[in-house]
Amino acid sequence: MVTGASTADLAVVLVDARHGVVEQTRRHAFIASLLRIPHIVVAVNKMDLVDYAEEAFDAVVRDFPALDVRDVTFIPLSALKGDNVVDRSAAMPWYAGPALLEHLEGVDIEHDRDEGGLRFPVQYVIRDGASDYRGYAGRVAGGVAHPGDEVVVLPSGVRTTIASVDTFDGPLASAEAGLSVTIRLAEDVDVSRGDMICAPGDAPELTREVHADVAWMSDTPLRAGGRYAIKRSTTTARAIVDVVEDRLDVATLERHAGTAELALNDIGRVTLRTSSPVAADPYRSNRATGAFILIDEATNDTVGAGMITR
């Protein structure tokens, strides 16, 4: 679920109206909130098996865990009968909200892009010796890029301005988060894959100590002293686990300190030391630049997914 939901704009959490909120409901809801999915739909299904009782629906609304999520919507439905799936159902006159499909088609995700300063991880350097063209290709991960904007290149700290924002179809007046473009800078500065072009007044901190929530995906536990490759956006470095700070009980949402390791499917907070400075954005501020994966260099397996906390 962690890997599948990491790029989702909306999550649908299915609840059986007969059983209400159970441990799996809490687990899925918490993981969705941990991954900062901005919209959650709680689909209370099988309402036909509880005689479309408003009390059963109200119990789910009451028992659903409080989450740090922008938008939580509860919809009673019966998938078998088609009630409130595509069209609103006459079987539940007490419900005045939209049907599931109506809600999904109307959710506004255009304003969910991470706000804040420019984040542009450089994926590829484009050179054309004949025309002396030098541009930096990648996807805007936050903010907006305009020609003439002052920027800083990390990790070097060199400041310059954007000369143009180019695409195959020609230059753009601006490029916002999600667009893949080529940025050309006013000065001929040293920029390579893995560097990040940022807004100077809101640049991320460069650090070799990373605090993060990690979802562990390997049969071999994560322990202090473990060594991995850490891949964040277009940057790869080596990392060592300094300490496992705690393990999260997803059922109760309690954190247990003093944990020696994280086993398969555990989620916990760890401190990592990296071989080179990382431009660390908290995941809460930017899902694209605040996320990373841990790779076992011996097998090349992805063994963990992380979200930077600070």
- Which structural domain, as residue segments, surrounds residue 90? 2-111
- Give me 234's structure tokens: 């277009």
**CATH of residue 278:** 2.40.30.10
**Are residue 158 and residue 244 in the same domain, yes or no?**
no
**Are residue 104 and residue 11 in the same domain, yes or no?**
yes
Number of domains into which the chain is organized: 3
**Are residue 85 and residue 144 in the same domain, yes or no?**
no
Domain boundary among 111, 137, 167: 111
Spell out a b/e string for 25-61, using b for 16 or more CB atoms within 10 Å of the CB, else e. Answer: bbbbbbbbbbbbbbbbbbbbbbbbebebeeebbebbe
Is residue 145 a contact partner of residue 137, using CB atoms and an 8 Å limit?
A: no
**Are residue 140 and residue 182 in the same domain, yes or no?**
yes
**Are residue 274 and residue 303 in the same domain, yes or no?**
yes
Domain boundary among 168, 202, 236: 202
Distance of CA 61 to the CA centre of its chain: 26
**Are residue 186 and residue 249 in the same domain, yes or no?**
no
The backbone torsions φ and ψ at residue 49, rounded to the nearest 5 degrees and listed phi first, read -85, -5
**Are residue 303 and residue 288 in the same domain, yes or no?**
yes
**Are residue 279 and residue 221 in the same domain, yes or no?**
yes
Nearest one of 35, 24, 61, 20 to 288, comparing CA atoms: 35
pTM as predicted: 0.83
The alpha helices in the chain, defined as continuous H runs, are 2-5, 23-34, 54-63, 100-106
**CATH of residue 34:** 3.40.50.300
Domain boundary among 90, 111, 132: 111
**Are residue 229 and residue 187 in the same domain, yes or no?**
no
pLDDT in tens, the chain (310 residues): 777 787 888 999 999 999 999 988 988 888 888 888 989 999 999 999 999 999 999 999 999 988 888 889 999 999 999 999 999 999 999 999 999 999 999 998 877 665 678 999 999 999 987 778 899 999 999 999 999 999 999 999 999 999 999 999 999 999 998 899 999 999 989 999 999 999 998 898 899 999 999 999 999 999 999 999 999 989 999 999 999 999 988 777 788 898 889 999 899 999 999 999 988 889 888 888 999 999 999 999 999 999 999 8
**Are residue 198 and residue 182 in the same domain, yes or no?**
yes
**Are residue 168 and residue 217 in the same domain, yes or no?**
no
**Are residue 209 and residue 198 in the same domain, yes or no?**
no
